[in-house]
Amino acid sequence: MHPDIEKLIELQELETRIRHATGRLARLPREIAAMEERLGASRSLLDRQEAELDRIAAERRQLEGEIQIIEERISKYRSQLSDVKTNEQYKALLHEIDYHGERIGKMEDEILVNMEKEEDLREERLLLERQLQKETAQVGREKQAVRKEIEETRIELDRRQREAGALIALIDPEIYGTYRKIATVRKGVALARAAEENCQGCHVRIRPSVLGQVMGGKQIVYCDSCARILYWQPDASPVSK
Ligand SMILES: [Zn+2]
């Protein structure tokens, strides 16, 4: 095999790995952001619950306050009962006492409903809190794993880039320039294996004379169809169909 092609094959493999690592590095922070978003949604659910609980508790306190005021009024009416002069006045006072007593009854019913709601909400909140706790721990572990992967990928990327740089320095600059141009237009794949009389890059049949040149390994040969650099590797694994 042409010595530069041997290096270019290695370079292409390295650059494929570099591309994958770069893609991973771009993707991984988004994974962390998605985890935080998930956790944020659970937290805001808990916040909304908390606000609802506060609202109901405030409503209950308000009712309790009103009941107290009404009770004071009733006891005032009761104390006036012994002072009234006429039957009408007496009846009117009793009517007021009954009326306000009924109001208190209704408010107390409201308070009971309120308290039941509060109890349900508290139970729900407890569950949500436990769930959030679990989720927070889980996300913490996942984030740690992703951060570790980011760190490892950075190290790998750095090493591969240095390896690629060292390799490029050993390749004939003109051949490397051609490789780079083809790689740019062919999504990073500038070399294609010639196997079963086909270019494995574009799967178009290679003319026998061209195939002979590729197998000879004395010069750089291009695919007539996709313009990739062709190479011959007889002992490579068979082509999958
Ligand atoms: Zn081709």
CA separation, residue 114 to residues 11, 101, 107, 118, 121 (Å): 72, 20, 10, 6, 11
How far apart are the CA of 179 and the centre of ligand 1, in A? 14
**Residue 53 identity (one-letter amino acid):** L
How far apart are the CA of 39 and the centre of ligand 1, in A? 49
Beta bridge partners of 221: 230
Which domains, from first to last, does the chain contain?
A: 3-171 (1.10.287.1490), 174-231 (no CATH)
Residues with C-beta atoms within 5 A of ion ligand 1: 199, 201-202, 223, 225-226
What does the pLDDT look like over 18-41, one tens digit per residue? 999 999 999 999 999 999 999 999
The verdict on pTM exceeding 0.75 is no
How far apart are the CA of 240 and the centre of ligand 1, in A? 17
Which residues have a Cβ under 8 Å from the Cβ of 6 and sit 6 or more positions away? Answer: none
> Does the pLDDT of residue 236 top 80, yes or no?
no
**Dihedral pair phi/psi, residue 60, rounded to 5°:** -65, -45
Contact 231/185 with Cβ under 8 angstroms?
no
